[in-house]
Amino acid sequence: MTQRLVFAGDSITDAGRDRADDGSYGDGYVALLADELPAQGADVVVVNRGVSGDRAVDLEGRWEADVRAQRPDVLTVYVGVNDMWRRFDSDDPTSAQEFEATYRRLLAATDADRVILVEPYFVPVHADQTEWPADLDEKRAVVARLAEETGAVLVPLQEAFSRAAAEHGVAAIAPDGVHPTPAGSRLIADAWLAAYTGVEAGAR
């Protein structure tokens, strides 16, 4: 049976897709998965509903039309870094409590059979960003806690990106600390595939 895989999130999911074309996946991790899953024999339809700049509250505003209306069998939610970023570039913070409340509402309004939550990551690039990870750590903890509470599968990314940055340099995986290079997108896709494989194994 064909599975509908819906990906909801921010610019890392959007990855420059043509939002007027449902067959456009951008050039990030979703595009890699859309190519590789069918090649591996998976009977799937991939739907990219990432929108650059989205915070959790923005995702909530389009949840019915962009996510639930797509009737996902497997839903991937990847959001959080803009909830951190806007605090520092626009003086528009989102507290961990606000982030969690919104994220809980998203998950409560989810009909998917299976849910995958992706941990947001950030690798500091500039000296004035030393305080940023502490803010995102609170959001990362929310995502991990909600995955555990709801039975969703967690895709951990922070450790993988921190390790890759230490080994190869930040520019090789995410030059601004967030938006991935092709190598960074490969890291995300591989982590997602590991989670999805586990989901599928558990479903059999």
Query: Residue type for 152, please?
Result: A
pLDDT of 204 above 60:
no
Q: Average pLDDT, stretch 88-117?
A: 96
* pTM for this model (two decimals): 0.95
The pLDDT value recorded for residue 191 is 97
Active site residues: 11, 176, 179
Residue 201: band (very low, low, confident or very high) from pLDDT cuts 50, 70, 90: low
Q: Cα separations (Å) of 70 from 42, 81, 112, 204?
A: 19, 24, 10, 24
pLDDT of 50 above 50:
yes
The pLDDT value recorded for residue 44 is 96
17: left (phi over 0), alpha (psi -120 to 50) or beta: beta
The answer for residues whose C-beta is within 8 angstroms of residue 65's C-beta and 6 or more apart is none
Percent of the chain's residues with pLDDT above 90: 93
pLDDT of 200 above 70:
no
Query: Residue type for 70, please?
Result: Q
DSSP string, 135-165: HHHHHHHHHHHHHHHHTPEEE--HHHHHHHH
